[in-house]
Amino acid sequence: MQVNHGKALGIKLPAVLVVFLLVLTIGFSVPWYHAAWIALVIGIIAYALGDLFILRKFGNIPATMADFGLVFLISWFFLWMLDFDLAVNSNFVMMALYTALATAVFEYLFHKWLLINK
């Protein structure tokens, strides 16, 4: 699969950023700068692992499932690590779950686009 990586990342990273800002910042009052750097880290890892490797070898559904798991685990970990800067009663699992679900919807559509525009 020959892909224009600049174009693909130019679509993926801003979209993941928007998803994280909507879910974490607007939905759970996480400071925007935390949502932004978490989105950037996850976007790059998910592109390398999910989009370039798993999508190519196994297809859209396994790649989307892998991205869901990756987003859930990494966002949960970072949110847990940021406990000092978030509200005392934050439910990190729910925050990570909603973020992973919203990201998985985007990732499914992004994978379809990647497969068509390879």
Distances (CA, A) of 24 to 47, 48, 98, 111: 21, 23, 9, 23
DSSP 89: T
Structure-token match 């699969």, residue found: 1
Secondary structure class of 82 (helix, strand, coil)? coil
pLDDT tens-place string over residues 57-73: 999 999 999 999 999 99
Domain boundaries, the chain: 5-116
Tokens coding 24: 């974490």
* Identity of the amino acid at 106: F
pLDDT tens-place string over residues 14-67: 999 999 999 999 998 889 999 999 999 999 999 999 998 999 999 999 999 999
Please report the pLDDT score of residue 89 as a whole number: 67
Share of the chain residues as helix, strand and coil, in percent rounded to the nearest 5: 85, 0, 15
* Identity of the amino acid at 34: H
Tokens coding 78: 């970072």
pTM over 0.75: yes
Single out the residue of 98, 104, 108, 101 nearest to residue 23, CA to CA.
98
